[in-house]
Homo-oligomer: A and B are copies of this chain.
């Protein structure tokens, strides 16, 4: 069941698509959730257990925002209490090249990072 929450916020800072993109995914945590989804992780616990240690309240809020923005979707895997597994929509899938570019830059320019094998595959498809 989509649309558990409100629609995406129409508050854009400008008409610039970079600013627009940042209004959707431009914070400390969102792209890390999308990275995990891109690696096939599906459930709350998967995201919560990532190395960066996202606070659970923020994780829950980001999942709602991303679903409202149409970047991810959810389907229930249990009824009571209602629980969902998450996945990238087409819109979300198309963030993979952004992730790949960011990973490449991070690997080349941020000391102490290393590209995991799972990421290398993504770099080949641009």
Contacts and interface: CB of A to CB of B under 8 A. Distances in A.
A interface, size bucket: 35 or more
Contact of A103 (B10, B18, B35, B94): B18
A14 B98 contact: no
A60 interface: no
B98 A101 contact: yes
A91 B107 CA distance: 12
Contact of A51 (B13, B51, B70, B103): B13
A51 B22 CA distance: 14
| Most chain B beta-carbon contacts within 10 A, residue among A101, A111, A126 | A101
Given A12-B112, A18-B103, A98-B105, A27 B26 contact: yes
Contacts of A10: 111-112
Interface of A: 10, 12-24, 26-28, 31-32, 35, 50-53, 70, 91, 94-95, 97-99, 101-116, 119, 126
